[in-house]
């Protein structure tokens, strides 16, 4: 699966990129039709601590799946986004099977 990581207005370190690749690989393992995913990391200019936003667009045939979450750290935001996408992939698979 091809993973494209885009960090807006900053440079993501290798440790964060490896973490993202590891987490998104689990999504590819759930559904064989995954082509790739686009990951967008952004620091919002909010005054509170929860200003790290992660967005993931999961590329699958037909409609792409998308989730966006904000948290205190990028790792937590990516975890939350991957959990949301796991639920979406599960629903998509059930829909394809006609359940």
Asked if 75 contacts 16 with a C-beta cutoff of 8 angstroms, the reply is yes
CA distances in angstroms from 16 to 40, 41, 49, 64, 87, listed in the order given: 12, 10, 19, 24, 23
Supply the DSSP symbol for 64: P
Backbone angles phi, psi at 10, to 5 degrees: -160, 170
CATH of the domain at 83: 3.30.160.100
- Higher-confidence residue: 96 or 76? 76
Q: How many separate domains does the chain show?
A: 1
pLDDT band at 50 (very low <50, low <70, confident <90, very high): confident
Tell me, what's the pLDDT at 46? 66
Tell me, what's the pLDDT at 99? 64
Backbone angles phi, psi at 35, to 5 degrees: -85, -45
> In angstroms, rounded to a whole number, what is the distance separating the alpha carbons of residues 41 and 33?
24
Tokens 């091809």: give the residue.
2
69-83 average pLDDT score: 95
- The model scores a pTM over 0.85: yes
Closest to 66 measured CA to CA, from 81, 50, 51, 79: 81
12-18 average pLDDT score: 94
CA distances in angstroms from 42 to 11, 18, 64, listed in the order given: 10, 17, 21
């Amino acid at each position: 699966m091809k993973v494209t990581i885009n960090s807006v207005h900053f440079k993501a370190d290798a440790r964060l990129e490896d973490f993202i690749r590891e987490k998104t690989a689990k999504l590819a393992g759930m559904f064989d039709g995954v082509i790739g995913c686009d990951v967008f990391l952004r620091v919002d200019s909010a005054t509170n601590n929860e200003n790290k936003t992660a967005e993931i667009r999961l590329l699958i045939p037909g409609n792409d799946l998308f989730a966006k979450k904000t948290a205190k750290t990028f790792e937590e935001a990516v975890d939350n986004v991957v959990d949301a996408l796991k639920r979406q992939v599960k629903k998509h698979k059930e829909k394809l099977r006609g359940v």
